[in-house]
Amino acid sequence: MSQYTPMIQQYLRVKANYQDAFLFFRLGDFYEMFFEDALKASQELEITLTSREGGTEERIPMCGVPYHAAAGYIEVLIQKGYKVAICEQTEDPKQAKGVVRREVVQLITPGTVMEGKGLLEKENNYISSITMFDEATFGIAYNDLSTGESKATILTGSEEILLNELATIGTKEVVVDSNFDSNLRKKIEERIEAIISIEKNIDNDHESNDILANLSNEKLQITANRLLHYLKKTQKRSLDHLQPFSEYEVNQYMKLDYYSKRNLELTESIRGKGSKGTLLWLLDETVTAMGGRMLKQWVDRPLINEADILRRLNLVETTLQRYFERQELRELLKGVYDLERLSGRVAFGNANARDFIQLKKSLMQIPAIVSLVKQLEHSEAEKLADQLDPCEDLTDLLEQSIIDQPPLSIKEGGIIKDGFHEELDTYKDASRNGKQWIAELEKEERQKTGIKSLKVGYNRIFGYYIEVTRANVHLLEEGRYERKQTLANAERFITPELKEKEALILQAEEKCIELEYALFMEIREKVKTYIPRIQQAAKIISELDVYQSFATVSEARHYVRPSFNDQRLIHITNGRHPVVEKVMGSQEYVPNDCRMDSEREMLLITGPNMSGKSTFMRQIALTAIMAQIGCFVPAENADIPIFDQVFTRIGAADDLISGQSTFMVEMLEAKNAIANATKNSLILFDEIGRGTSTYDGMALAQAIIEYIHDRIGAKTLFSTHYHELTSLEEKLVQLKNIHVSAVEQQGKLVFLHKVKHGPADKSYGIHVAELADLPKELIVRATEILSELENGQARDVKTETNPEHVNEQLVFFAEPVKGQCSDQERKILEEIRKLNLMEMNPMQAMNNLYEIQKKLK
């Protein structure tokens, strides 16, 4: 250390405590970075890399950004998943003895962002902490620092349950102990795409008692304390806006695993990763940012308690029926700013005078909202209205104190209204009177000297002065003014009287600015005391916003109120896929009925590709989800059960990150459904088994169908191209065949998109290929081959060139011929002989088959 200059030594001491962050080290008007930070930051931020003397022979790499533009650079680094430690000068350079004292005043991380473009209006920015109590017990606590929302739960089960919950939360950062399981840490980083941070301290301090008051057990308190200690350590300021942790159980909501949410495109599109084309995109007619965030939370966690669902539906129905009140409510809500994040900025010390004007305008809307909601004449609406606190005393304070159009800065004055503070008014009068005297002086001197271009000006270096152009200097009487400064084209002068007034004006202005800043800080402290009341109002307004959003969408798109039954019946008349219908626009959507009861627990769906099998399956799931979040649904009538879980296996894609094939992904998703589904679940399986050979795929598909039918009994929609499976209707009493119809007209395929009873007569695969504009010659040849296959005339092409390759898959299972099998192959065949298939369930059989296939490869 001694080889470096004192300033570089100081930098290294600070950097030692923030090894995983870029250190923005304040030097004058710049934040500088050195050594590895400089090399990396210059690449990530695309800024110039330089160097400087540091006491050693080699110059030290260095790069920097202006302090006034630092926010933009910090935001870029945060969005790329980095942390940034802000190191400020905490000592007046004029009073410093040696190197100016510097300290880190804040650590900004992806999970602790408080402002900027990375903080999306209608999305929460969560940071979570995890405590692993044993292999099957996890504590999770999470918080949105920008809004103060805090929640916690205990999970029991596999790592998948933990990963699924983190995905549902959408956490950006996860705080764990230093000895956290490394494999699980890797999965969190890769699958959840969250950064990992370390916090060992889990002690309970008295300051956190109120925040932890609602947590029922020690495990939850430990997990929440870990998060709170990390937030306090990194932010180094007041966190008065943090709301008490609310405890929840995942079993209170419909379970939707990561794959099902992705396949159903609830909040994120598979194609573009944005929200367009998702259920959230369809339903979002919210007016406030707070309402948008609440809507996303509801879509992520549909309810399973019927009373809670009916309460929401009642409020949506009331709002839908009162058109004029709903439109007026929308207009009032447009005047409400983001109260949750405004509260966060106040507590955090970031709020400026413009934030206070937004807060005042928002609170001033509340009385009108209360009156309007009470006009709905609904008991639950009246309860919400009664809980809405307009904080009238706070509104009065802000109205009396802050001017309507304040400047952005809080340190340059011009914020406080006249009449709010007597001493401030005195300084303002002195300043204004002085400036009036200056204006009159200019007028008098022009008249006395006859110089019309004479002016009285001001700059920070010379203060007030009288300026006369060089061409008019000869008109001045000798000794009238005292020369102050000579310019190329003018002379500047002062007078004793002007000097005296300057001192009075500047003193008054300086005291004005100091006093205004002090008064603003006092007001901010008073506003802090209202934060819990503001946050409560924000929750009610958010809820009202979501109800009017549901009502607006339901009216515009002709949705109906769903009903629920305990008999596990699905009776949907003319149901539609809500998102597809919206995307189609003016094109007519073909609706379909769905009937499922105790005799129709499973529907086996056949039909050509592109006919609408997947769309039909998805629309059933989306109808259930929309109903259970409290929204009306796209149908003429919908009577459905309340589902505890929804599982999907739709589409096929390799999981490149974990190195799993399409088929393995299929099997894992199928296993998840089979292992966790109950009779009250909904399962959607789309073409299971297509990722492997025909016979393997067909065998697995049938085994899965039989297992769900016989062992689970969940409502299941199973689409397939294996037409042989349609014969299962004769064997499985609760399985029925349906198909999505298509017709051939003049040799062309026309999709009718209508679901009908019974199996499809053929797949029309070649017709679909023709629609895709494959070469005509290829289509003709495919038709010839199909005809041969259907007539049993096809020959195995391989037999003409190498007879040994005939029916390779079947030969594998035949008796070994001496001299034709390797030792390894004989061992594998011996393993197969020993397998007792009759004692295995389908999943065990699949796993054994997968292991054997791996060995052969």
Which H helix or E strand runs over 152? strand 150-156
65 φ/ψ sector (left φ>0, alpha ψ -120 to 50, else beta): beta
Residue 1, annotated as binding a ligand: no
Residues 6+ apart with CB under 8 A from 30: 64, 65, 66, 67
Buried b (16+ CB within 10 A) or exposed e, 778-801: eeeeeeeeeeeeeeeeeeeeeeee
Residues in a beta bridge with 156:
137
Could you give the CA distance from residue 135 to residue 156 in angstroms, rounded to a whole number?
9
Whether 605 and 738 have beta carbons less than 8 Å apart is answered as: yes
- Residue 360 to residue 22: CA distance in whole angstroms: 38
Q: Give yes or no for a contact between 551 and 544, defined as CB atoms under 8 angstroms apart.
A: no
**Residues in contact with 210: Cβ distance below 8 Å, sequence separation at least 6, in sequence order:** 244
Of the candidates 695, 626, 700, the one whose C-alpha atom is nearest the C-alpha of residue 667 is: 700
State the amino acid at position 540 in one-letter form.
I
Q: Terminus-to-terminus CA distance in the chain, angstroms? A: 57
> What single letter denotes the amino acid at residue 379?
S
Backbone conformation region of residue 646, classed left if phi is above 0, alpha if psi is from -120 to 50, else beta: beta
Q: Which two structure tokens, joined as six digits, stand for 833?
A: 């002989």
Q: Which residues contact 38 (CB under 8 A, 6 or more apart)?
A: 49, 60, 61, 62, 63
CB 250 within 8 A of CB 155: yes
Strand partners, 102: 89
Q: What DSSP character marks residue 612?
A: S
Three-state helix/strand/coil letters over 710-769: HHHCCEEEEECCCHHHHHHHHCCCCEEEEEEEEEEECCEEEEEEEEEECCCCCCCHHHHH
Residue 647 phi/psi, 5-degree rounding, is -120, 140
Per DSSP, the three-state class of 303 is: strand
811: tokens are 């030969």
Q: In whole angstroms, give the CA distance from residue 216 to residue 271.
A: 42
- Is 608 labelled as part of a ligand binding site? yes
Q: Is 294 assigned to a binding site? A: no
612 annotated as a binding-site residue: yes
**CB neighbourhood size of 18 (10 A):** 17
**61 annotated binding-site participant:** no
Strands (E), 195-339: 195-198, 246-247, 255-256
609 annotated as ligand-binding: yes
Closest CA to 592 of 717, 767, 704, 428: 717
For the chain, the C-alpha Rg in angstroms (whole number) is 36
Alpha carbons 727 and 639: distance in angstroms, whole number: 30
Instruction: In the chain, count H helices and then E strands.
Output: 29, 27
| 3-state DSSP of 18-32 | CCCCEEEEEECCEEE
Nearest CA among 331, 518, 294, 318 for reference residue 413: 518
Does 854 count as an annotated binding residue?
Answer: no
Is 183 annotated to bind a ligand? Reply is no
Pairwise CA distance, residues 604 & 546, whole Å: 37
**How many Å is the maximal CA-CA distance in the chain?**
128
Judged on CB neighbours under 10 Å (0-12, 13-18, 19+), 555 is middle
Q: Which amino acid is at 399?
A: E
Helix 353-374 / helix 323-333 crossing angle, nearest 10 deg: 170
Residue ranges of the annotated binding site for ATP are: 607-614
Residue ranges of the annotated binding site are: 607-614
